[in-house]
Structure 1
Amino acid sequence: MNTIKTLLILVALSFLNAQAQELQSPNGKFVMYFALLNDGTPTYQLNYLNKEIIKKSKLGLELQNDSQSLLNDFTVVKTTPATFNETWKTVWGEETEIQNHYNELAVLLKQNKTEREIIIRFRLFDEGLGFRYEFPQQKNLVYFTIKEERTEFAMTGDHTAFWIPGDYDTQEYDYTESKLSEIRGLFQTALTTNASQEQFSETGVQTSLMMKAADGLYLNIHEAALIDYSCMHLNLDDKNLVFQSHLTPDAQGNKGHLQAPCVSPWRTIMASYDARDILASRMTLNLNEPCKIEDTSWIKPVKYVGVWWEMITGKSSWSYTNDFPSIQLGITDYSKAKPNGTHGATTKHVKELIDFAALHGFDGVLVEGWNQGWEDWFGQSKDYVFDFVSPYPDFDVEGIHEYAKSKGVKMIMHHETSGSARNYERHLDKAFQFMNTHGYEAVKTGYVGDMLPRGEHHYSQWILNHYQYVIEKAVDYKIMVNAHEAVRPTGICRTYPNMIGNESARGTEFQAFGGSKPNHTTILPFTRLIGGPMDYTPGVFEMDISKVNPNNDSHVNTTLTNQLGLYVVMYSPLQMAADLPENYNRFLDAFQFIKDVPVAWSTSKYLEAEPGYYITIARKDKNSNNWFVGNNNGVNPRTATISLDFLDKDKKYEATIYADAKNADYKTNPQAYTITKQKVTHKSKLKMTSAAGGGYAISIVEIK
């Protein structure tokens, strides 16, 4: 017994000698411990409800061409605790106000041999931990290049993970559910083709990574405020179950060029025994800087239709002609070309969509393929591919502008860069001025294909700085940005709320490229949406793509009411009704929900959730007392009872319920649905059944 006591005392003294520091969350449920190892390596450990959830993990950065990296040989100079509590108002969001409450510990470290200083700043929220590296201005660390960030996340067990392959260029993968130890064996089967992709390891995965431990604990690892840095992936040591950060390299293989003073993005860990807490967390937003746009009155949520789905399915084309083997802008004479007969962005057709938008109360119309250059835009490593101001002969920019204005509809511009970031920057001011002149208040940008400059990746530091440049330049012209194929969001939309949407994941378009897994949208809110809203482009009513394009035998792997539920489950202030008008005209009673559902919310309630299996969310309209409920279900049919106790106690409502019919199935009978109405109050409970790949949507309107 004396020997055991002696060992315990020695362990305790060792921890104290390592200058151990403790930080608790405001509610006391999380505790973070910081300490230096004997060789001066910084470490942290995270506990939740008195249980270790992240084992002792190393911190630091390996530098390029430097004899002494920022990995060890550190001494604690001082620690600075702080606490912070505020409530800030959103420009748009899942609620109108967000509380930002955390306890902080800033640890100033000095490296003994080099006398370099770094700060590791920890912020502990009631939902989890955020930490980052800070590099103060100093003589011995001015310009430096990162070879690799060596942040560790040591797991406490072989958790179940919902993961996509680590890739420098795309997130457009279906999710795989497996144990951590099984990732290596499943990696190759998890890969699907993409216009641009490069994996780095058979145990590499992307953030936001959602996991579930054997005891029911949900864990999420991500990053926040990804500015002037490289996107972080996670590389798993599957023998020891330790994740290490893996940054995206640039064309030279470097992971980041920094100049002090500067900071890294925040590394985030969220945890709870209730999956709904992960969905409800605003920690990622809170780790970003407050809004930098003084006047935000021009930033408004948008519900839109457009010339898009018919192109994605192959019914129509982006290109105007088949006459030219290649295009050189300013030289190729389109006036002499014969139209191919499949071009979608014609003046006549776009006016038809404007009429449809005006008839049904939509805010805007997106037009793709309106500008010259689409005939040889992809796969040519072509620098000067678009100029973003030259329309095709059959697209009357001024006429469309006047027609849309007369109908009270806003036009949305499309800027596909074909990955040529330098060319986009070259034309950006002129393109945005062109948008201002012709009444376009929002732009959908695209980065399909390999990046230019050659060798750069979609998620490397230089390209990330380009995305940020576009967002900030757009502020000068009061333009909202919806970026596709860009890096996955990390909460920057708090600082620049004109970034109204992003794709950066496997969206609805892949349903026309062979299909996505039926449970895909039960995972995305736990992963991709942790950093910001997604332009998922929901609302497809015709699941058999061959009925849109006989040459495409793809199938949309959801039911029709699952598509309705997406408008609530997949939060975005930018929502598209993606299908063709003729398909909506076939199901006008179901289409009513898409017309009614808002894109601006005052509050959100997460009723039930299990990643990969089901999600049910209720949201209150920002401009009325009406509520909307959405459910998405996985591959197993499910019945559950939901309570409407979130409704105001002194009000009565009428609920319109759009649900899967009894014989509905995403494969065999996806368009089978029922619509019922009933009076409800805050005491009501609804027993709801979702089919395989199904879901439901409910509008709850106050009775006055």
Structure 2
Amino acid sequence: MNHTSLARRLAGALLLIAPLAGHAARQLELSSPDRQLRVTIDTRERLSFAVSHRGTDLVLPTPIGMTLAGIGTLGEKPRLTGQQRRSVDHTVRPVVAQKSREVRDHYNVLQLDFAGGYALEVRAYDEGVAYRFRTTLPGQVTVENEQAGINLRPQDTLYWPQEKSMQSHNEHYYQALAVSDAAGKLVGVPALVQNGGVHLVFTESGLRDYPGLYLHGETAGLRAVFPKVALADTARDDRNVPVTQEAGYIARTDGKRAFPWRILGISANAGGLLLNQMPYLLAEPQELKETSWIKPGKVAWDWYNGNKLYGVPFKSGLDTRTYRHYIDFAADNRLEYIIMDEGWYKLGDLLAVKPEIDMPELMAYARQRGVGIILWVSWKTLDTQMTAALDQFARWGAAGIKVDFMQRSDQWMVNYYERVAREAAARRLLVDFHGSFKPSGLQRTWPNVLTFEGVKGLENNKWSDKQTPEHDVTLPFIRMFAGPIDYTPGAMSNAHRKDFVASFDRPMSQGTRAHQLAMYMIYESPLQMLADSPSQYRANPSSLDFIRQVPVEWDESRVLHAQLGRYVAMARRRGDTWYVGAMTGADGRDLELDLSFLGDGTYQLESMEDGPNAGVFATDVQKSSAGVTRGSRLTMRLAPGGGWAAIIRKTK
């Protein structure tokens, strides 16, 4: 069960300050525990905030507020009535350990109360700052707009997740450009900004009953924009349901509530972003009480290769025999789940199983072999048939659902995500949100939600040549900052860019085999896919043997090397065993592996490395072994687009 340990320290007793004179000019400051970050809140004519890092301005004064119909704009001519300060330092133990088994929640907080029934809560962590509004207004309120964003220097570098509209799968490539060059363009979140050597990621958490955040480029910054409340939509098919009529407001919600957190993760180096857990810590507390049934794990996935097998004594396809083969593959390799992706039901009716598939037989066989089955569903059909379909899935004994193609983040759709999470949890079903917006805290509130897409993942190799190794070593610093990432790694057909061919039926990846193996240590997903087919894995037994040993939850994570868009190397611990992964972009490189993070005693290192000819043949991977201690220093040699992966077990 998710719980918070007793506070190690609650410093800074609550300070209650008497109402302040309305005419007094007020600028208030809040510093991080290590005093490296400072937030300045201006409460004079217009509520605004600014952030500095080690004395250097990072976010320039930025107006913030909310416009409510019939009430006005909270934050205009604010009248400060009181403030409360405190320091918090305690430990959170997540149900699902993504980066670590325990998470330190250490911050200073300032709450400012204003006349008119609203407050601003600001938190300063060593790893960044966040703020949110609270209101104590009667009944329902209509939010016409929220004023948010970050004012920056025009010459700051934005890693720009470009969007065409707010009806989106939120799958991005990241183009680096000056902030001023993004003026007039729509930007997705998370978005990353570089100011000198400092890295800042802007995103949100605690998103409930409110639309998701986007950004609009301005000459000197990024301004928040939101999808408006949908008054009408038109279903083109079972998945594409664009909004055709919008209201003049972004949300209608309870007047007594806390609104979503606006988060700025900040680090003097890119590697710090990989360990930042602010989006999880700022999420709404867990609502699900009984969680012992939630089992993260690895998944044999059918869709990447379209159920196409070879070396089997039957013609493969969307049928019972093929899925029995997937179940056998999962059981033989200690994989917890298989997915039955699109095609198992007649589109438009989740209760109409294709005649080629005997679902009761498959569920019984999977149960016999100790494998769970996760069922793909199109979101609109699930919305129409939710109770009947989920009840049927539970009767069958399904382990979970993969919900796809939402493509929206208006208030109704945000609430749909939570409705799915709640209804699935009531039937002990896990959830994978595909075709989704970025994680925004739901996985803490409903820990049966294990992972989200919202990423340009491996499947794009089926139709595009843009899924490059450079992209692979960029997204951990940006998209993965928000939460778990359903990239679906594990391609066994690998090629360098000059040899790569997009193929829908026989897909390959760019970069080396070891690059793919390292993803299992770098990319965090408590429901982690093996994207390629059983036939491909059986033809590459050393790679399969490595993958099946890698966990999906971590007791501890460490960054070994990191440079945005160029390379990343991490070490993860589960029990006494360490797992190391390193990936590089277009350039080959050598990285030192300093094993001082190991405990006392001796260890055996088993690695999968780029072979001596991996620069030409991307599939060239070699297995190596060595005895090591915490005093050992090794060299990880990575080919262009390459990788390095190892499991380090204690021997005595």
TM-score (norm 1): 0.82
Instruction: Report SS of the residue matched to 1:211.
Output: strand
2:336 to 363, 378, 384: 363
The amino acid that maps onto 2:562 is A
Matched, 1:627 2:627: no
2:276 aligned residue: 281
Equivalent in the alignment of 1:556: 509
Q: Report if the CA contact (8 A) 2:557-2:570 is conserved.
A: yes
Residue 646 of structure 1 is aligned with which of 578, 597, 601? 597
5 Å matches for 1:366-515? 366-374=339-347, 385-386=348-349, 388-417=350-379, 420=380, 423-447=381-405, 458-515=408-465
Choose which of 23, 26, 35 in structure 1 pairs with 2:33: 26
User: Does 1:681 find its partner at 2:629?
Assistant: yes
Amino acid at match of 1:362: L
Aligned to 2:179: 180
Find the counterpart in structure 1 of residue 158 from structure 2.
Answer: 161
| Conservation of the 8 A alpha-carbon contact between 1:229 and 1:461 | yes
User: Where do 1:53-68 residues align within 5 Å?
Assistant: 53-63=58-68, 66=70, 68=72
Unmatched segments (≥5 aa) in structure 2 = 1-21, 231-245
Distance 1:695 1:689 in 2: 8
Cα distance in structure 2, aligned partners of 1:148 and 1:356: 52
Cα offset, 1:473, TM superposition? 1.3
Q: Read off the aligned partner of 1:102 and give its amino acid letter.
A: Y
How many residue pairs match? The answer is 606
The one-letter code matched in structure 2 to 1:225 is G
Deviates more, 1:100-109 or 1:148-157: 148-157
Q: Percent identity?
A: 25
Structure 1 or 2: more strand by fraction: 2
1:557 to partner: Cα distance: 1.4
**Who is 1:51 aligned against?**
56
SS of 1:645's partner is helix
- Whether the 8 Å contact between 2:377 and 2:404 is mirrored in structure 1 is yes
- Check if 1:73 corresponds to 2:72: no
The alpha carbon displacement at 1:561 in A equals 0.8
Structure 2 counterpart of 1:220: 201
- TM-aligned CA deviation for residue 342 of structure 1: 9.1
How far, CA to CA, are the matches of 2:316 and 2:114 in structure 1? Answer: 61
1:468 Cα shift? 0.9
Rg: which structure is higher? 1
The corresponding residue for 1:88 is 92
Query: SS of the counterpart of 1:677?
Result: strand
- 8 A contact 2:502–2:508 mirrored in 1: no
Change in CA separation of 1:554 and 1:368 when aligned onto 2, cut-off 3 Å: closer
1:692 deviates by: 2.0
Give 1:600 shift. Answer: 2.1
Contact 1:207 1:233 in 2 (8 A): yes
1:377 corresponding residue in structure 2: none
Aligned to 1:243: 222
Alignment of 1:68-147 (within 5 A): 68-93=72-97, 94-110=99-115, 116-138=116-138, 142-147=139-144
Question: Which runs of structure 2 are paired with 1:179-218 in the superposition (5 Å)?
Answer: 179-183=178-182, 202-214=184-196, 216-218=197-199
Give the aligned residue type for 1:661: G
C-alpha RMSD of the superposition: 2.5
Query: Following the alignment from structure 2 to structure 1, what is the Cα–Cα distance between the partners of residues 610 and 502?
Result: 26
What is residue 664 of structure 1 aligned with on the other side?
614
Secondary structure in 2 matching 1:26: coil
1:408-427 CA distances to partner (integer Å, 9 max, x unpaired)?
2111112123xx2xx42332
- After TM superposition, the runs of 4+ consecutive aligned structure 1 residues lying more than 4 A away are 544-555
Q: Which runs of 5 or more residues in structure 1 are unaligned?
A: 1-14, 111-115, 185-201, 317-340, 375-384, 449-456
Which residue, out of 238, 244, 260, partners 1:265?
A: 260
Summarize the Cα distance change of 1:473–1:67 in structure 2 as closer, same or farther, 3 Å threshold: closer
Identify if the C-alpha distance between structure 1 residues 342 and 645 changes in structure 2 by more than 3 Å, giving closer, same or farther.
Answer: same
Go from structure 1 to structure 2 and tell me whether the alpha carbon gap of 1:550 and 1:203 turns closer, same or farther (over 3 Å shift).
closer
Q: Is the 8 A contact 1:514 1:555 kept in 2?
A: no
Aligned with residue 692 of structure 1, among 636, 640, 646: 640
Normalized against structure 2, the TM-score is what? 0.88
Match of 2:539 among 571, 586, 595: 586
Q: CA deviation at 1:248?
A: 1.9
CA distance in 2, matches of 1:221, 1:152: 9
Alignment partner of 1:529: what SS?
Answer: helix
Paired position in structure 1 for 2:46: 41
CA 462–208 in structure 1, closer or farther in 2 if over 3 Å, else same: same
> For 1:587-608, what per-residue CA distance to the aligned partner results, in whole angstroms no more than 9, with x for missing partners?
1112211011111221111111
Quick check: 1:371–1:389 contact (8 Å CA) kept in 2?
Answer: no
